[in-house]
Amino acid sequence: MTASETVPVARQALMRRTGPLAAAVAGRTVIVFGVGALGGAMALLLARSGIERLILVDGDRIRPGNAVRHVGDIGHTGRLKTSVLFLKIIYHTPNVYVEEHLATWDPERLRAYVARADVVVDATAEQPFSLLLNDICVAAGRPLVQVETARRAAFGRVRVIRPGRDACLLCYEAHAQSTRYPIVPPGDEGEFFDDGCGVPTVEAPAVDVEATANWATRAVLWLLQDRLGPRNHLLVVNEEVAGVSGDLAVVGVHWDVFAPVTGCECCHGKLVTAPPVTTEETVA
């Protein structure tokens, strides 16, 4: 063996290339609900950024068609996505502690999972489940980062919910009635069914899915370092789409701030005062 092949794989040696970020997030735990193309990419990035403990929750298995977007490949066909991601993570960062759990709607189990995490990530793209998880995180005082894509991943949306400070997901239903909130108009998602699968999927290139995953991961890391400031809503525009206006028409990232809504049935509109955003950040 050459000297380069015998370099130690202890955490300190591996994370040296990451710089101060790894030290800043050392000892933190993140739970990711939904480890498909979006959540799977986030989990791997979090591990490679220095997160030491990851809890993965999903019940889906890899299908051949997943390979073009998922971190898993055709050779993993039939295996649980959580198990595939576990292997990918430990091959890159063998010092990360990873747990796998099947998806659940049981509130007691969800509360137990959430209680163990510094930040909760929801990448399930299932609105009813997202609202349930939102309720649990608000009640537990745990930060939630909810991420989704739309219109073939031309658009990505990241909502950061710090209970007592930010709008919760139920608050956003009220904010969506205002002209200020960027609503992605419905359009062709390229929905189709894989052979032998009864659950539809949508067309979305990996480059756009992973762009949103990257920004959502940044939000988690900034949140853990208390560097996010008042920002809590991120619109990612990956591709130009006809028929939209405002921020939706500008390729780049657009941060904003949405406060809790008075009388919200979930968070009750409780607000901790935060300084307003003075300038919008747009990165082409």
Q: What is the pLDDT of residue 78?
A: 86
Q: What residue ranges of the chain have pLDDT lower than 50?
A: 1, 272-284
Q: What is the pLDDT of residue 13?
A: 72
Domains (ranges, CATH) in the chain? 3-256 (3.40.50.720)
Query: What pLDDT is attached to residue 228?
Result: 96
**HEC-encoded secondary structure of the chain:** CCHHHHCCCCHHHHHHHHCHHHHHCCCCEEEEECCCHHHHHHHHHHHHHCCCEEEEECCCECCHHHHHCCCCCHHHCCCEHHHHHHHHHHHHCCCCEEEEECCCCCHHHHHHHHHCCCEEEECCCCHHHHHHHHHHHHHHCCCEEEEEEECCCCEEEEEEECCCCCCCHHHHHHHCCCCCCCCCCCCCCCCECCCCCCCCECCCCHHHHHHHHHHHHHHHHHHHCCCCCCCCEEEEECCCCCCCCHHHHCCEEEEECCCCCCCCCCCCCCCCCCCCCCCCCCCC
Q: For 21-35, what is each residue's pLDDT tens digit? A: 999 999 999 999 999
**Per-residue model confidence (pLDDT) at position 4:** 52
pLDDT at position 139 is 95
